[in-house]
Amino acid sequence: MNTLPPEMEAALAAKQKHRRELAALPYEEKLRILLRLQHLSDAIRQTRGASARAWPLDEKTLLPMSSAHRS
């Protein structure tokens, strides 16, 4: 019988709960989260000399940004 320690059970339950909460979010909010992660990734990429790859969308409106507003 393979049982997990109570701490591991609690951690797995919390992870499952968090995933359910994320799954329940509207698509617009999921897209905003993705854009924030892309911008964080871009910050790391730029410190290594790589170019930015985040989608050029405004995080509030989710509409394409003009080239003048891109960072």
pLDDT tens-place string over residues 3-60: 999 999 999 999 999 999 999 999 999 999 999 999 999 999 999 999 999 999 998 8
- C-alpha of 60 from chain center: 15
Q: What is the pLDDT of residue 2?
A: 74
Check whether 71 has a pLDDT greater than 70: no
Give the start-to-end residue ranges of the domains of the chain: 6-69
Q: What is the pLDDT of residue 70?
A: 56
Check whether 67 has a pLDDT greater than 80: no
For residues 1-27, b (16+ Cβ closer than 10 Å) or e, as one string?
eeeeeeeeeeeeeeeeeeeeeeeeeee
Q: How confident is the model at residue 1 (pLDDT cuts 50, 70, 90)?
A: low
